[in-house]
Amino acid sequence: MDWNNILTNVAGEFFAPTTAAYALAAIGLNIHFGLTGLINMGQAGFMLLGAYGFAISTIAGWPLWAAMLVAVACAAVFGLILGIPTLKLRGDYLAIVTIAAAEIVRLIGRSTALTELTGASSGLRGNDYKHTFQDSSPFGDGNFQLGPFDYSMSASNSWWVRIVGWTVVGLACLLVWLLIRSPWGRVLKGIREDEDAVRSLGKNVYSYKMQALILGGCIGALAGILYVLPRAVQPDSMGRPMTFFVWTILLLGGAATVFGPVLGSIIFWASLMLIKSVMRAGVPDSIMRTEQIEQFGWIVVGVTLMLLIIFRPQGILGDKKELAIDVR
Amino acid sequence: MRDVATVDRSPTTAPTRSPWRRTRARTALAVLVLSVTTLLGAAPAHAAAEATCVADVATGCINGTIRTSEREPAPGVSLEVAGAGTTVTVVTDAEGKWAVPVTVAGPYTVKVDPATLPEGDVLRDPSANPRTVNALLGQAVGALFPLVAADGSGAAPTPGATGAPGAGNGEVGTPTNSQQDTGFSWDRLAQQTVSGLIFGILLALASVGLSLIYGTTGLSNFAHGEQVTLGGILAYVGCQLLGLPLVLSGVLAVIAGAASGYLQDAGIWHPLRRRRVGTTQQMIVTIGLSMALQYTYQFFFGGGSLRIVTTNPTTLTFGPVRVTVTSLVSVAIAALVLGGVAYFLLGTRVGRATRAVSDNPALAAASGIGVERIIRLVWVLGAALAALGGVLMGLYLNATSWSMGAALLLLMFAAVTLGGLGAAFGALVGSIVIGVVVEVANLFIPSDMRYAAALLILIVVLLVRPQGILGRAERIG
């Protein structure tokens, strides 16, 4: 077993763009669930919309900043549409509606009727929309090697994506930290703990919930852009499992904390990589084929999610007293 | 890191797509006439209409073989290959083969004209038509279009995206007699309505259990779809792997489903209720369970579709409506079972106790009803109904797969919400409405969007009447 290679792969996951994208998505979900107590089961829908918004407007020739604005605007409108019917209803309705809405986005995105716009189920090719982001890189072409990690400077799965991705994650953490300490954040936490009490203080609970839903969704859209920058927009890879991974990450790191989502994402992807690499190297093909190892990894994720929410719903960093999942 | 499977889309192919969309809207006869005339006109002009093509340094080939659902060659199927600024029409030869030589490498779009397919056959995966292939000089690339019989054997569930994270693609295949192209006629409306009723009654089997579990425990069970898949997969194991007769393996699948419901409640949900884990937390547990089970099925049975029976079903024709014998029998079984459930709930002591627990568990417990025993019974009943639904749905859709239940789950939730969360008969009404909507929507919107229509209803219902058709307003928080 080549431990050197395995450990390099695992360490590479610590700062991979995917890890950053999932951390960012979990930060968005943290605003929904950790701060406000909204059970959003459609975070992948926000991400997919962000990815489509960014990629389609870039393909249409829009500059980088405009494309990003389109992505965020898509998510904001989506959040508004989702929130109007559901935010007044009980928590599990929001869960069902968000999961259904995310599916609608994916089903429409992969429909052959929109092939010219979305590329149907095969999606949009990465090289069609990456150029504006790559051109904004100050590093130019070529590769750069840091220790065992050798990535290109600007193209595709590059140092540039990593730097931008983690900077955005850092800024989002800062935002959440400021929000938690702000009066606005305290109202959100009040809604999470006891909605009626907040209402009796004269706060418009519905409006606060809507703001939280939209803000978290917009962060989700940015995460969607970050997720598709090193690959392609493929609707089927951004379906329900993606939402569930984001939830696992959030609950693993700790909801209602600032660094929980980041820690959760790093641990999630690194341990998944560790499990899969060790099994690929150590388990003979006759016992488990390569694709079965992949599936085994996802089974482990599902079981982890179950065990986490039962035995340690506050995650690694969270405080159990702070997180009252079942208030509403 | 870029996915190799990503298909190239070049702007040069885009303008050639619009005529296809127009043809799709026309009637089948018109398309047939049209394609025959294009074909006659095009064949002399393009030497490409030969089924032979030899790849050399300056030539690449795009080719394939089209076979009917009976694995016979399908001659006379018209295909359009577009790319590099030209469009070529080819027709399959007597052996079902077709080939197009190209002199420019790059992406080409291949489209089968559905109207020229052998009578009674449809594409197994209509969403893969048109398809883009990447032609290389000196090589031959294939574009395969598998066919299935239109009557009685709809599209097999297409496996989810390969690679992580593998999402079920949300389509559970095209139900019996479902037509592929949109366009309205009264005959088609009748056909789609009947298909919708069949689909709805089968869906009801699964949703009634979901609704009962929600009613008695307050739990939105996201793993209920996997109970449906379990039924389908066990029927496949019984029929195909163990060689048992269909009825026996169906019965065994339902018994195993019931047992899984018992074990699940005894092993997971009862302890969680005793620990006073809240229902929202339990709901997230069901999500984890659903994920673990889906990938467990995939682990053992792979990502492909599994056909419970491999023979082609017999079809009956009533005026404009065609149904298979299998689906008629399935509907009869489903109606009997649903009638039995209704009698159980309304006419027996245990059933009345179940409804009492559903209404108010504390009061039910105070009046001497063993709430936990009722809940256990509901889990067994719900899981058994779901397994039966899975078996019948697997027969109806002509195949099952690891993601069948997951794709149906949201339709079940839509049905249950539409009928009224927790109201058992609401689930029945809701399922039939959803079934009919899904099938009739086929007439007006592309068939790969019809589930989106059903989910849209879910959201609209919540906006207009959140308690559902049969629900009571005070259930809503």
Global confidence as pTM: 0.75
Classify strands B97-102 and B60-65 as parallel, antiparallel or unpaired.
antiparallel
| Range name among A242-246, B25-29, B269-273 with the lowest pLDDT average | B25-29
Taking residues B124-146, what's their average pLDDT? Answer: 72
Distance from CA of B409 to the nearest CA of A (A): 10
The chain A residue lying nearest B458, using CA atoms, is A97
CB contact under 8 A, A101 and B477: no
Axis crossing angle, helix A64-86 with helix A91-109, rounded to the nearest 10:
140
The SS3 assignment for B312 reads: coil
Tokens of B278: 């809240």
pLDDT tens digits, B3-59: 333 333 333 333 333 334 333 433 343 433 434 333 333 333 333 333 566 665 566
pLDDT tens digits, A114-139: 878 887 777 888 888 888 888 887 87
Indicate whether A328 pLDDT > 60: no
Contacts of B293 in chain A (CB under 8 A): 302
pLDDT interval class at B126 (50, 70, 90)? confident
CA B420 from centroid of its chain's CA atoms:
24
d(CA B301, CA B304): 8
Tokens of A45: 């829908």
Is this prediction's ipTM beyond 0.90?
Answer: no
Q: Which helix (H) or strand (E) holds B318?
A: strand B315-318
The more confident residue out of A34 and B46 is: A34
Note whether residue A291 is domain-resident.
Answer: no
| Range name among A101-105, A160-164, B36-40, B226-230 with the lowest pLDDT average | B36-40
Q: Which of A130, A133, A298 to mutate to test the interface with B (most CBs of B within 10 A)?
A: A298
Distance from CA of B470 to the nearest CA of A (A): 17
pLDDT for residue B167 = 36
pLDDT tens digits, B95-105: 777 888 777 66
pLDDT for residue B401 = 87
Classify strands B78-83 and B86-91 as parallel, antiparallel or unpaired.
antiparallel
**A142 backbone φψ class: left, alpha, beta (φ>0; ψ -120 to 50):** left
Of A89, A107, A306, the CB nearest to B288: A306
Taken in order of first residue, the domains within chain B and their CATH numbers are: 11-20+30-36+59-149 (2.60.40.10), 186-475 (1.10.3470)
Of A86, A104, A292, the CB nearest to B455: A104
Contacts of A99 in chain B (CB under 8 A): 410
Indicate whether A309 pLDDT > 90: no
Contacts of A107 in chain B (CB under 8 A): 170-171, 448-449, 451-452, 455
Contacts of B292 in chain A (CB under 8 A): 299, 301-303, 306
Judged by a CB distance cut-off of 8 A, whether residue B126 touches chain A is: yes
Backbone angles phi and psi of A87, in degrees to 5: -70, -15
CB contact under 8 A, B288 and A248: yes
User: Do the beta carbons of residue A251 and residue A309 sit within 8 Å?
Assistant: yes
The chain A residue lying nearest B272, using CA atoms, is A310
Note whether residue A185 is domain-resident.
Answer: yes
CB contact under 8 A, A100 and B14: no
Residue ranges of B 299-318 with Cβ closer than 8 A to chain A:
299, 303
DSSP track, B160-222: --SSSS----S-----TT--SS----HHHHHHHHHHHHHHHHHHHHHHHHHHHHHHHH----T
Judged by a CB distance cut-off of 8 A, whether residue B264 touches chain A is: no
Distance from CA of A72 to the nearest CA of B (A): 22
Tokens of A124: 């949009």
The DSSP symbol for B51 reads S
Note whether residue A296 is domain-resident.
Answer: no
Note whether residue A226 is domain-resident.
Answer: yes
Distance from CA of B358 to the nearest CA of A (A): 17
Residue ranges of B 449-468 with Cβ closer than 8 A to chain A:
449, 451-452, 455-456, 458-460, 462-463, 466
Note whether residue A303 is domain-resident.
Answer: no
Distance from CA of A239 to the nearest CA of B (A): 6
Of B168, B277, B291, the CB nearest to A302: B291
Judged by a CB distance cut-off of 8 A, whether residue B159 touches chain A is: no
Owner of token pair 């039966």:
B388
The chain B residue lying nearest A294, using CA atoms, is B164
Note whether residue A259 is domain-resident.
Answer: no
The chain A residue lying nearest B445, using CA atoms, is A113
Residue ranges of B 56-75 with Cβ closer than 8 A to chain A:
none
pLDDT for residue A20 = 94
User: Do the beta carbons of residue B234 and residue B249 sit within 8 Å?
Assistant: yes
Contacts of B111 in chain A (CB under 8 A): none
CB contact under 8 A, A306 and B292: yes
Of B6, B128, B280, the CB nearest to A92: B280
pLDDT for residue B37 = 36
The more confident residue out of B457 and B160 is: B457
| Range name among B114-123, B184-193, B345-354, B431-440 with the lowest pLDDT average | B114-123
Q: Which of B8, B299, B418, B451 to mutate to test the interface with A (most CBs of A within 10 A)?
A: B299
Note whether residue A207 is domain-resident.
Answer: yes
> In which domain, by residue range, is A178 found?
3-237
Q: Which of B219, B226, B462 to mutate to test the interface with A (most CBs of A within 10 A)?
A: B462
Backbone angles phi and psi of B133, in degrees to 5: -120, 155
Judged by a CB distance cut-off of 8 A, whether residue B343 touches chain A is: no
Mean pLDDT, chain A, as a whole number?
Answer: 87
The more confident residue out of B372 and B425 is: B372
Of B164, B298, B451, the CB nearest to A107: B451
pLDDT tens digits, A144-201: 877 778 787 777 788 888 999 999 999 999 999 999 899 999 999 898 888 889 999 9
Note whether residue A283 is domain-resident.
Answer: no
pLDDT for residue A30 = 93
**Which string of b and e fits A202-224 if b means at least 16 CB within 10 Å?**
ebebeebbbbbbbbbbbbbbbbb
Picking from B445, B367, B396, the residue whose alpha carbon sits closest to that of residue B194 is B396
Number of structural domains (chain A) is 1
Report the percent of chain B where pLDDT is more than 70.
75
